[in-house]
Amino acid sequence: MRLCDQQGAVSLGCVSGPQADPQFLDDEDEDVAAERKRIMSGEGKDDILRLENLTKVYRLFGKKGRNTAVDRLCVGVPKGQCFGLLGVNGAGKTTTFKMLTGDIFVTKGNAFLNNNSILTDMVKVRRDIGYCPQFDAFDPLLTGREILKFYARLRGVQEKDIKRVSDWAIRKLGLLIYADKLSGSYSGGNKRKLSTAISLIGNPQIIFLDEPTTGMDPRARRFLWNCIKNIIKEGRSVILTSHSMEECEALCGRLAIMVNGTFRCLGSIQHLKNRFGDGYTIIVRVAGENPDMASVEEFITSTFRGAELLEAHHNMLQYQLKSRAKLSYIFGQLEKAKSLLNIEDYSVSQTTLDQVFINFAKDQTDLLDDELSSQPSKKKSSSFKKSVYPIGGTSGYTDVDNDSIAGSSLGGSTMELLQARKNPRGFPDPYNSGFLDDESLTGSTVDLIRPGSARSSVRSANSMANVQIF
Let me know whether 387 and 458 are in one domain: yes
Give bridge partners of residue 113 from the DSSP assignment: 49, 116
Q: How many CB atoms lie within 10 A of CB 127?
A: 16
Domain membership of residue 370 (yes or no) is no
Which helix H or strand E contains 276, and what residues bound it? helix 269-276
Domain membership of residue 199 (yes or no) is no
pLDDT tens, position by position, 149-189: 999 999 989 999 999 999 999 998 889 999 999 999 998 88
| pLDDT for residue 31 | 92
- Euclidean distance between CA atoms 62 and 148, whole angstroms: 45
Three-class DSSP labels, 434-454: CECCHHHHCCCCCCEECCCCC
Domain membership of residue 429 (yes or no) is yes
Helix %, strand %, coil % of the chain (to 5): 35, 25, 40
| pLDDT for residue 447 | 36
Q: How many CA atoms lie within 13 A of 354 on its CB side?
A: 4
DSSP classification of residue 422: B
- Euclidean distance between CA atoms 159 and 413, whole angstroms: 56
Let me know whether 397 and 341 are in one domain: no
Let me know whether 403 and 327 are in one domain: no
Tell me phi and psi for residue 61, to 5 degrees: -80, 110
Query: Do 47 and 77 meet the contact criterion of CB atoms below 8 Å apart?
Result: yes
Strands (E), 295-432: 307-312, 316-321, 343-350, 388-393, 396-401
Looking at the structure of the chain, the number of domains it has is: 2
DSSP classification of residue 435: B
| pLDDT for residue 136 | 84
Query: Do 118 and 111 meet the contact criterion of CB atoms below 8 Å apart?
Result: yes
Query: Do 249 and 270 meet the contact criterion of CB atoms below 8 Å apart?
Result: no
| pLDDT for residue 415 | 37
Best CA proximity match to 97, nearest among 68, 132, 149, 62: 132
**For 361-378, what is the mean pLDDT?**
62
| pLDDT for residue 74 | 94
- Euclidean distance between CA atoms 199 and 224, whole angstroms: 13
Let me know whether 388 and 337 are in one domain: no
pLDDT band at 266 (very low <50, low <70, confident <90, very high): very high
| pLDDT for residue 374 | 58
Best CA proximity match to 73, nearest among 51, 47, 42: 51
Let me know whether 318 and 384 are in one domain: no
| pLDDT for residue 112 | 94
Identify the three-state secondary structure at position 406: coil
pLDDT band at 20 (very low <50, low <70, confident <90, very high): very low
Let me know whether 460 and 403 are in one domain: yes
- Euclidean distance between CA atoms 331 and 333, whole angstroms: 6
Domain membership of residue 368 (yes or no) is no
Let me know whether 387 and 465 are in one domain: yes
The answer on pLDDT for 260 being more than 50 is yes
**For 411-420, what is the mean pLDDT?**
38
Which CATH number belongs to the domain containing residue 312 in this structure? 3.30.70.1150
Let me know whether 385 and 465 are in one domain: yes
DSSP string, 133-169: -SS--S-TTSBHHHHHHHHHHHTT--GGGHHHHHHHH
pLDDT tens, position by position, 47-98: 999 999 999 998 877 656 778 889 999 999 999 999 999 988 888 898 999 9
- Euclidean distance between CA atoms 320 and 145, whole angstroms: 52
Best CA proximity match to 263, nearest among 31, 99, 26, 22: 31
Query: Do 259 and 366 meet the contact criterion of CB atoms below 8 Å apart?
Result: no
Domain membership of residue 285 (yes or no) is yes
Query: Do 129 and 204 meet the contact criterion of CB atoms below 8 Å apart?
Result: yes
- Provide the sign of the torsion angle of the four alpha carbons 107, 96, 47, 121, taken in this order: negative
Q: Percent of the chain scored above 70 by pLDDT?
A: 71
The pTM of the full predicted model, rounded to 2 decimals, is 0.66
| pLDDT for residue 2 | 39
pLDDT band at 407 (very low <50, low <70, confident <90, very high): very low
**For 314-323, what is the mean pLDDT?**
84
| pLDDT for residue 64 | 61
Q: Which residue has the higher pLDDT, 113 or 415?
A: 113
Q: Among residues 350, 365, 395, which one ends one of the domains?
A: 350
Q: Percent of the chain scored above 90 by pLDDT?
A: 33
Domain membership of residue 298 (yes or no) is yes
DSSP classification of residue 351: P
The answer on pLDDT for 223 being more than 50 is yes
Let me know whether 394 and 447 are in one domain: yes
pLDDT tens, position by position, 338-355: 888 989 899 988 878 887
Amino acid found at 85 = L
| pLDDT for residue 351 | 77
| pLDDT for residue 17 | 40
The answer on pLDDT for 123 being more than 80 is yes
Tell me phi and psi for residue 46, to 5 degrees: -90, -5
Q: Which residue has the higher pLDDT, 442 or 313?
A: 313
Q: How many CB atoms lie within 10 A of CB 206?
A: 22
For residue 303, what are the domain limits?
A: 278-350
- Euclidean distance between CA atoms 129 and 132, whole angstroms: 10
Domain membership of residue 72 (yes or no) is no
Let me know whether 329 and 391 are in one domain: no
Identify the three-state secondary structure at position 224: helix
Residues, the chain, total?
470
Domain membership of residue 444 (yes or no) is yes
| pLDDT for residue 67 | 83
The answer on pLDDT for 411 being more than 80 is no
- Euclidean distance between CA atoms 56 and 106, whole angstroms: 6
**Mean per-residue pLDDT of the chain:** 75
The answer on pLDDT for 134 being more than 90 is no
| pLDDT for residue 452 | 39
**For 41-48, what is the mean pLDDT?**
90
The answer on pLDDT for 37 being more than 90 is yes
Let me know whether 454 and 413 are in one domain: yes
